[in-house]
Amino acid sequence: MTHFGILCLEATGHLNTMFPLGRELQRRGHCVTVFSGSGGQTKAQAAGFSFCDIYSAGDRKRGGETQTPSATVEKLRGLASIRYTLQKFAQIAQTRLQQAPAIIKEHGVTSVEIFCEDLAQPIKGKQLAKSINRKLNQWMKGELQASIEKISLETGSTVSVVNPAYTSQVDHLTGTLLGRRERDCFIRYTGDVIQADLNASINICIRGTDNNITRYMKASDVESEFLTRTVRYLVSIGKSVTDALNLGWLVPKFKAKALKLEDEYHSQG
């Protein structure tokens, strides 16, 4: 039995996306501990997981937070108030990410092989409204990547960084682009429904041993690889790309490229 740790924010949206992954690990006979803020304790324990208030544990390690006098905070207005809030957020997030590895180690999380998406690469085509949001996003990704690496050292685990393209759009059971994601669900071409983040997590793990998709491969090339696999799979079940489109199995945005790859596949015999 392996002891897995789930480190996430205590907000409902974060917890709800991680719980299905935790339940799947438990179903396979593993122990799972959720590391989050106190607000997530009731939900985590109700879901059957062990729990650690990582924020309180981190505060105890450094002897408590350094508080800014309330009178000083109340005097802040406008840009100064915004700047203070952002600096405080950055300080707390950075400190807790840095302390997380030691706390996780203390709770006996087992050394494992960690597969994670490459968080250092910018996502092209994703426009953020304000430059401050973009900078915060890039900073947080860097801190998270560093924290993952530190956790691996503390627990004796290994980290394999993989290409993140299409991990949420591929059906992990078929390795194809048949199916679609709708909110927190991934709907397979068969009509079966999988929790979306569980599906993506398994894809990330599979990606770690996929020799045809390298870490720095362009997203367009990754798309071509999966569409080629989709064409092959359709042929194996006696269907065509046109059939898949008509049946709603394949998202229309892939139509032109999929039809072209299908022609190339059949021309090669």
- Which residues of the chain carry a pLDDT beneath 70? 57-74, 89-97, 112-113, 119-144, 269
Do 121 and 225 reside in the same domain of the chain? no
Each residue's pLDDT tens digit, 215-260: 999 999 999 999 999 999 999 999 999 999 999 999 999 999 999 9
Domain ends where: 162, 188, 216?
Answer: 162
pLDDT value of residue 10:
83
* Residue 44 domain boundaries: 3-64+75-162
In a domain, residue 168? The reply is: no
Do 184 and 157 reside in the same domain of the chain? no
In a domain, residue 173? The reply is: no
In a domain, residue 53? The reply is: yes
In a domain, residue 175? The reply is: no
Reported pTM: 0.67
For the chain, what is the mean pLDDT? 82
Provide the number of structural domains found in the chain: 2
Question: How far is Cα 221 from Cα 232, in angstroms, rounded to an integer?
Answer: 17
Question: How far is Cα 258 from Cα 171, in angstroms, rounded to an integer?
Answer: 16
Half-sphere exposure of 179 (CA within 13 A, CB side): 30
Do 139 and 20 reside in the same domain of the chain? yes
Do 198 and 117 reside in the same domain of the chain? no
Do 93 and 154 reside in the same domain of the chain? yes
Question: How far is Cα 63 from Cα 71, in angstroms, rounded to an integer?
Answer: 23
Do 23 and 113 reside in the same domain of the chain? yes
- The amino acid sitting at 58 is G
pLDDT value of residue 66:
46
Domain ends where: 131, 162, 193?
Answer: 162
In a domain, residue 69? The reply is: no
Domain ends where: 109, 131, 162?
Answer: 162
pLDDT value of residue 65:
47
In a domain, residue 170? The reply is: no
Do 207 and 259 reside in the same domain of the chain? yes
Do 105 and 219 reside in the same domain of the chain? no
